[in-house]
Each structure stands twice: as structure tokens, then as C-alpha cells.
Amino acid sequence: MSEPLPPGSESGEDALAPTLLYQDDWLVAVNKPSGLLVHRSWLDKGETRFAMQMTRDLIGGRHVYPVHRLDRPTSGVLLFALSPEVARSLTEAFAGRRVHKEYLALVRGWAPARGLIDYPLKEQLDKIADAFADPDKPAQEAVTSFSRLHQVELPHAVSKKHATSRYSLVRLAPHTGRKHQLRRHLDHLFHPIVGDTTHGDGRHNRFFREHFDCQRLLLVARTLSFEHPVLKVPMRIQAPLGAELLSLFARLGWPASESDY
């Protein structure tokens, strides 16, 4: 079996270009940048660039089939199948919770050392895309486990209530796949993800933009682990954090090497 390809270097010429992480005869995985849509959406009619199309171009024009999703502002491992049959198998693996997902998130406050968030979520409906969906559908099971990797206290009074500001880096493992699950669960825990303009804290988002020139959601889909649908061997695909995030971590006093995470 071929080894995963080394992560592509980040290009200053095209910040939205995905880079190849892994490819064989049945699968392809890319590192999706923050800000890139996975596929065409009614919600962003003016957008012309999508991870599906760009991945297809990256591998010579072969059609790719999506098997899971990442929010537009989330970066990290995005997996595609190269045939409908493999897509069906992988989609069933995701639905059957046979794919282990790990994320890294930088959040407001000092998060607990570890924990389990078991908090059902109401489906978030869009006025256009979900016009015919049932608005009274009961909340769905949503479970996320987490552990804290690092924490820091900065001498900046972002909130009027505190003379300093605290942040944590957490590793997240969602056991279910609800829309915006990690962002909503961390908000529920009172540790919203920095850069989240929907479920986050605007004061801390603004502080990171102005003080660290950080313009993105600080959420990364770090790894996917699963059984290869054809070869039946264990797979673990990891996305690099990249120079921008590692530089930010270093400024916060955290390790600044990919191998530390």
C-alpha cells in the first residue's frame, strides 16, 4: 500500500488552494484551507471556487465524490472517494461512527483538563436550503470528548470584567456529526472557539484579529482514522497545522513544531 503523500507547502500565491495529503486508486485526501467551501451551495451563489473542483483539478481531472463535510471556516483533512461504490462505503462508515475524527481548537478561557460534552442539538435550519424541513424536529444526540493540551494567560483586558485574558488549546473528538457540533458544544461549555463569528465571542475574535493578525476560525480537522474500504487496512490521515498557526502558538508560548501536536 502506498504511503500518505507529504503535506504540500503552503503557497502565498493562493491561500485557498488545497494541498494533497493522500491518494491511491480509491481515495484522495486534501488539506482544505480555512475559507474554502467544500462544494457549490445555494447559500453562496457568488462563490466560484470549491474544494471538490480544485481537488479534481489537483489529481488530473478525475471525478471525486464527497463523503463528509467541513464548515467553510474550518481547515484540515477533507476526504473524497474516487468511485460511487467507495463513496457509499465511506459514507456508511461515517454514519456508523466507524471513522475517528480529531480536531484542534483554540478557545476562550481555561478549559477543563478533559471531559465529555453530551448535549443534544436542535438542527440548525437555513431559510433557503431548509425551507421545507420540519422546524419542530426534536434535538438530536450530540456527543464530543475533549482534552486540554495547553493554556495561556495574556496581560490584556479583552473583557472589562478581567485584567487578563485566558485561552486554551483543546483536542476534540466528535462522536456524532451534527451541524456546527464542535462550535456549538464549546459555546455551550462557555469556552467558544476564537474566530467563530456565529457562536463565538466578538471581543476575543477582534483581539486576535488586531493583536495577532488572525483572520480565521481557529478550528482544525487534524486527523481522520478509519479502515480502508477496499484494502481493509488501518488508515490515519493527518493535516499539517501550517506556518500561520504554529507561529501563533509560538507567540502564545506553546510548542511551535508539527510533531508537538
- Residue 40: per-residue pLDDT: 74
Task: Give catalytic status of residue 130 as yes or no.
Answer: no
Q: Which CATH superfamily is domain 1-96 in?
A: Pseudouridine synthase (3.30.2350.10)
Q: Which of 24, 71, 130, 260 is catalytic?
A: 71
Q: Quick one: 163 exposed, middle or buried, by C-beta within 10 A (0-12, 13-18, 19+)?
A: exposed
Task: Check: pTM over 0.85? Answer yes or no.
Answer: yes
Can you give the residue ranges of every domain in the chain? 1-96, 98-217
- Residue 49: per-residue pLDDT: 85
CATH topology of domain 98-217: Pseudouridine synthase (3.30.2350)
Low-confidence residues of the chain, pLDDT below 50? 1-12, 128-129, 131
- Residue 137: per-residue pLDDT: 77
Per residue in 144-177, pLDDT (tens digit) is 999 999 999 999 999 989 999 999 999 999 999 9
- Residue 2: per-residue pLDDT: 39
- Residue 260: per-residue pLDDT: 93
CB atoms within 10 A of CB 4: 15
- Residue 7: per-residue pLDDT: 42
- Does the fold of domain 98-217 match that of domain 1-96? yes
